Chain A
Amino acid sequence: MDVVAVVLVLAAAIAASWVIAGPLRGGNAEAGDAALAARLEDLEAAKEARYREIREAEMDFRTGKLSEADYKAIDRQLRQEAMEILRRLDALGGATD
C-alpha cells in the first residue's frame, strides 16, 4: 500500500466532505436568500423568453411567415405577459434600475 497515496486519498476525502457538508453546518440560514434569488432568476429567464418570442414574431412577420392579424395578436399577448413578469419582478424588488 502506497502511504503517500493513502494520505492523498484521505486529504481528498476530507476536502470533499468539508465542501459537501458546508450547507448542513450553516443550517438553513441562506435558504431564504437563495429562494428569493431563485425566484428572481426564474422570472428573469421568463422575461427574456418573452422578449425573444416578441423579436421572433416580429422577424416572422417581416419575412412573411405571420399574417398581420396573427402578428398583432401574438405581439399584444406576449407584451402583456412580459409586463406581468416585470410587475412580479418589481414586487420582488428585482426590476428596478
Chain B
Amino acid sequence: MADLGRGLTFLAFAVALYGIGAALYGGIGGRREWVTSARRSVYALGGLTTAAFVVLEIAFLRNDFSFAVVQSHSSITTPFFYKAAAAWSSQEGSLLLWLWLLAIWSSLVIFLTRHRMRDVQPYAIATLMGFAAFFGGLLVFAVSPFDTLAVAPQDGTGLNPLLRHPSMMIHPPMLYSGYTLWAVPFAFAVGALVVRRVDAEWIGATRRFALGAWFFLGVGILLGARWSYAELGWGGYWAWDPVENASLLPWLTGTAFLHSIMVQEKRGMLKTWNASLILATGTLAILGTFLVRSGILDSIHAFGASTLGIPFVILIGLMILASVVLVVSRRDVLRSEHKLDSLLSREAMFLANNLVLVGLAFVVFWGTFFPLISEALTGNKQSLGPPWYDKYVVPLALALVLLSGIGPVIAWRRATPRNARRNFTWPIVTGVVTGLALIPFGVAGRPLALAMFVFAAFAIGTIAQEFVRGVRARRAMTGEAVPIAFVTLIRRNRRRYGGYVIHLGMAVLFIGVAASSAFQHVHTVELQKGQATDIGRGYTVRYDGPSSRIDVRDDGVERLVFGARLTVIKDKKVVARLAPERGYYPIAGGAAANPIGTYFEGESTSEIAMKAGLGIDIWTAVTPNLDPTLKEVARGDKLFVAAQGKMDATQYATGVGQAVRGLTDRYAASAPPATFRLIVSPMVTWIWLGSLLAFLGGIICIWPTADLAHRRATAGYAAKVARDLGRA
C-alpha cells in the first residue's frame, strides 16, 4: 500500500514537470498538439493524485499503523468519522490534500476552457502545473505521507482531541479548496499578461473559479470560527491568531478583486489594479499555506516547526518577482480605457471599497507578521493582540458596511442630485430610524456599535429597495405576478442579486459581530455546589452539582468526563439547564508506569454548553478541580505499580478499572468547587445566519446560467440581438 502511494505521488510529480515543459514548448512554438498533451497531463495529474489520496484514506480507515502518519494521527478507538478526516490533520496528509484539490480544480478549469483563450492556456497550464510540481516535489523529497515504520505498532497515538469536532472534518478541505481555487485566476492572469491579452476575457473565463475560491475560503473561515466558539473553551469566535489571519488575507484581497473586475468589465478601467490584486491574492494563498507549515509564527493551528519554510519562501519570492515583472512590463497594455468621471459614481465606490479591503488586508498582514518584524528590529518577539486590531479594523469595517450600502445603488459614471435623492432617501431613513430606535436600549453608550447598526440598517435598506425596484421593473416589462417576478429577477440576474444577498448577509454578520463584541459579559468564577452568580443582563447561573462518567468505545476507554450541572435563571424563571464538561483522554502507552494516572493526565478538551438564540447566547465552560482526585490517583498508581506481577492480568485490569470508576464516582459525589467561564453574548447567532446568507448569495452567483451559446436567430443581426435578449 505504501509503495503504491509513493509510486503514484512520484508519477504525479513527474507528470506535473512534463505538463510545465509541454505547455511552454507548445505555447512558445505554436505547437497545438503539445498544448493539448499538456492539458491531458493536467487530467492525468487529477487521476493520479486521486488514487494516491484514496490509498492514504484506506490506510487510515483500515488502521494500518505501518504508515507513520496513521500511527501518529489515528488509533483504533478514533471514531470512523474522524479517521477519515485524520488524513489531513497531519502535515504530510494535508500537503497531499492540497495537491489533490489543486489537480481537481485545475482539471475542471482546463476542461471548461479547452476551446477558449488558446493563446493564454499554455501559460495558465504551466503555472498550475508549476504549483503542482512544487507540492508534488515536497511530497516526494521532503515529507511523504507514505513513510512506513520498521515495526507496525498495535495502536496509534490517536487524533488530537481538539480536532474531534464535526467542523474540523470539513474545515481544512474548504480552506484548501479556497487556496487552490485562487491558483486558477492567478494562473490565467499570468497567461493573459504573458500574451498581453489583458481584456476582460480571462476574467470572464475564471470569474466563477474566483467566486468559488471566495466561497470555499469563506466557508472554511466560518467553520474555523464556529469551531473556536464551540470547542476551544474561551468563548470567542475570532482571536486574530496568525493562521486565522493567514486565511483571511487572500479572502480580503480576493473580495476586493471580485468587486473591481466589475469596473474592468463595465468600463475597461482598473486593469493594472485587477492584475495586481489577483497576483497578490494567489501569492497570499500560498503565504497562508506557508504560515501553517513553517512554524515561524506561534499558533494553535500550525503544524509546528518543520523544514518546509525555505522551499515556501523561495516559491513566494518567485511569485512576487514574476508578478512585479509581468505587471511592470505590460503597463502599456494595462492602461485604462476610461477615466473616473466623478467621485460620486459607482466606479469610485468600487475603488473606495477596494482601498478599504486592501487596507484591512494590510492591517491584518502587519499584525500577523509583527512578531517577526519586532524580532528582526529589536531581538524580541512581540505579538499584537485584539485591541490593536480593533483600533484599525473597526473603523475600516464601518466604512466597508457603509460602502456596501452605497455601491449597489449609486449610478455608474456620475450620480446626479436627483438620482441620489431617489436612491438614498429611504435607506437613509431606515438607518436613522434604526439608530433612534436603539438609543433607549442603551446602545448610545457604545458609539461604534451604534454606528455599525445604523450603517448595516442603511445597507439592508438599499438592498431591500433594490429588490423592490427590480421586481417592479420586471413586472412592468412582463406583467408577472410578484413571486414569479422575484424569482425570475434573481434567476436572470444571478450575479447582481446574488451579490445583493451577499451584502445582506455581510450586514447581518457585522451586526452580530458589533453586538456580541460591544455588549458581551464575561465572568470567570469559582462556584461551590448550590452557589449562584449573576452573569449580566439579568441572568443568574446556579451550580447544581458535579457530574462524571467514563466514555467507552469499542475495546477501550475513550475518555473520562468531569462536568457540572448548571441552571440558568432569569426573572425567577428557569431559562435553561446546561451541562458543560471537560474530557480527559488517556495517554497512549502510559499504562505501565501510571496505571490509573494514564486516564487522568492526558490531553483534555472543554465541551462547552450553551443556550443559543437569536437574541442571546448563554455560553458556559467548566474547569473541574481535580487536585484532590489526582492525589488519590498518585496513591493508586504506587499501589498498582507495586502489584504488577503479583496479580494475574485479568485481576489487575479489573482492579485498575474499579479504581478509575471509583475515583470518577467520588468526584461526582463530593467534588471541590469548580471554575466556570460564563458568557452572555448578544446576537452571536446573527454571525452564523449572516454567513449562511452570504454563502447563499455566493451560490446564486456561482450557479451556472442556462447555456445560451447555441441560441440563434435567422433575421437580421439587430433583430437577432433583440430576439436573443428577449429569450434569455
Interface residues of A (CB under 8 A from B): 1-2, 4-6, 8-9, 12-13, 16, 19-24, 26-28, 30-31, 34-35, 37-38, 40-42, 44-46, 48-49, 51-56, 59-60, 62-67, 70, 79, 82-83, 86-87, 95-97
Contacts and interface: CB of A to CB of B under 8 A. Distances in A.
Given A55-B728, A62-B476, A79-B721, A49 B33 contact: no
Given A83-B721, A87-B717, A21 B37 contact: yes
Please classify the interface of chain B as helix (H, G, I), strand (E, B), loop, or mixed, using the class held by over half of its residues. Answer: helix
A5 B146 CA distance: 13
16 contacts: A9-B11, A16-B48, A23-B37, A27-B33, A34-B115, A37-B115, A41-B116, A45-B116, A51-B728, A54-B725, A60-B412, A63-B470, A65-B346, A66-B412, A83-B720, A87-B717
A16 B33 contact: no
Contacts of A22: 37, 40
Interface in B699-728: 708-709, 712-714, 717-718, 720-721, 724-725, 728
Given A48-B708, A49-B265, A63-B470, A86 B40 contact: no
A64 B43 CA distance: 47
A66 B473 CA distance: 14
B44 interface: yes
A97 to B, nearest CB: 5
B565 interface: no
B413 A12 contact: no
B667 interface: no
A16 B410 CA distance: 54
B591 interface: no
A12 B45 CA distance: 11
A42 B709 contact: no
B479 interface: no
B466 A38 contact: no
A26 B346 CA distance: 52
B232 interface: no
Please classify the interface of chain A as helix (H, G, I), strand (E, B), loop, or mixed, using the class held by over half of its residues. Answer: helix
A75 B714 CA distance: 22
Contacts of B36: 23, 30, 34
Contacts of A97: 712-714
B8 A12 contact: yes
A35 B205 CA distance: 17
Contacts of B8: 9, 12
Interface stretch (B165-173, B183-191, B415-423, B523-531): B415-423
A20 B423 contact: no
Contacts of B346: 65
The list of the 9 closest CB pairs from A to B, nearest first, reads A9-B7, A5-B3, A62-B473, A23-B36, A5-B4, A41-B115, A83-B717, A31-B32, A16-B44
Contact of B44 (A20, A53, A65): A20
Nearest to A82: B721
A79 B718 contact: yes
B118 interface: yes
B3 A38 contact: no
Contact of B1 (A2, A54, A59): A2
B668 interface: no
Nearest to B36: A23
B18 interface: yes
A14 to B, nearest CB: 10
Contacts of B37: 20-24
B618 interface: no
Interface in B34-57: 34, 36-37, 40-41, 43-44, 47-48, 51
B96 to A, nearest CB: 16
B115 A64 contact: no
Contacts of B1: 2, 5
Contact of A86 (B44, B411, B717): B717
B116 A65 contact: no
Nearest to B466: A63
B201 interface: yes
Contacts of A53: 265-266
Nearest to B715: A97
Contacts of A96: 712, 714
Q: Most A CB atoms within 10 A — which of B495, B709, B728?
A: B709
A92 B65 CA distance: 61
Contact of B3 (A1, A49, A79): A1
B301 interface: no
B709 A44 contact: yes
A63 B728 contact: no
A72 B707 CA distance: 28
A65 B412 contact: yes
A9 B422 contact: no
B419 A24 contact: no
Contacts of A87: 717
Given A51-B725, A96-B712, A97-B712, 12 more contacts: A2-B1, A5-B7, A19-B40, A20-B15, A35-B32, A45-B204, A49-B204, A51-B708, A62-B476, A63-B409, A70-B412, A83-B721
Nearest to A81: B721
A34 to B, nearest CB: 6
B33 A26 contact: yes
Nearest to A2: B3
B204 A65 contact: no
A67 B117 contact: no
A16 B11 contact: yes
Interface string B674-694: 000000000000000000000
Contacts of B259: none
A95 B714 CA distance: 9
B174 to A, nearest CB: 29
Contacts of A8: 4, 7
A55 B725 contact: yes
Given A19-B43, A34-B115, A56-B493, A2 B32 contact: no
A38 B112 CA distance: 12
B409 A65 contact: yes
Given A41-B115, A79-B721, A86-B720, A64 B423 contact: yes
Contacts of A55: 492-493, 725, 728
B631 interface: no
Interface string B1-33: 111100110010001001000100000000111
B100 to A, nearest CB: 15
B200 interface: yes
